[in-house]
Structure 1
Amino acid sequence: MSLDTATVRRVASLARLHVDDAEVAKLQAELNGILGWIEQLQAVNTDGVEPMAGGAVTSGAMRLREDVITDGGIPEKVLANAPDREGEYFGVPKVVE
């Protein structure tokens, strides 16, 4: 498949891109190159190849970790650089009067 200049201008218009007359030829060549690569990929025999989901090759569903809320177990390290502290919490200035 090959795109002509009118189609390139139409695609640019649909994408809301301003393309100067000088850029149309360059863009046409780039888009035709991309379409050529797609045609090459479509020619590859993929019979018997399992589809992949998310790029990970796993059998069955992905395992999920338990959703457990923790404090991190290091409150002293977390609060070490706090400008103001109130016990085990950050001290913040009052916002609402």
Structure 2
Amino acid sequence: MLLCMVPFLDAPPATTALSPSLYVAIAASGFFACLVNVSQFAVIDAVGPVSSTVIGHLKTCTIVGLGWYLSGQSISRQSIAGLLLTLLGMGLYMAAVLRNRR
């Protein structure tokens, strides 16, 4: 759908000579975005919408934690407490789900 709308809504690039690697990066970005969406449907089908949301929050916590680690910036105690509280809630939820499956 976006491919059909881009010519009408977006201006062409200012430079005429764009590198082929830019086109490869754009195509790869679209391909990986498609894979993320398809995998999200598979996760929802396998574990349900609530568990899928919990998995999404785990992914977000992982990205935030890696960002803190790789950036080398100082981390506030509130941020650490929030991240730990989120991980604790996810762990308790998953324990409850597994207990109910038995």
| TM-score after normalising by structure 2 | 0.27
Structure with greater helix percent: 2
Structure with greater strand percent: 1
Question: Could you say which structure has the greater relative contact order, defined with CA pairs below 8 angstroms and 6 or more residues apart?
Answer: 2
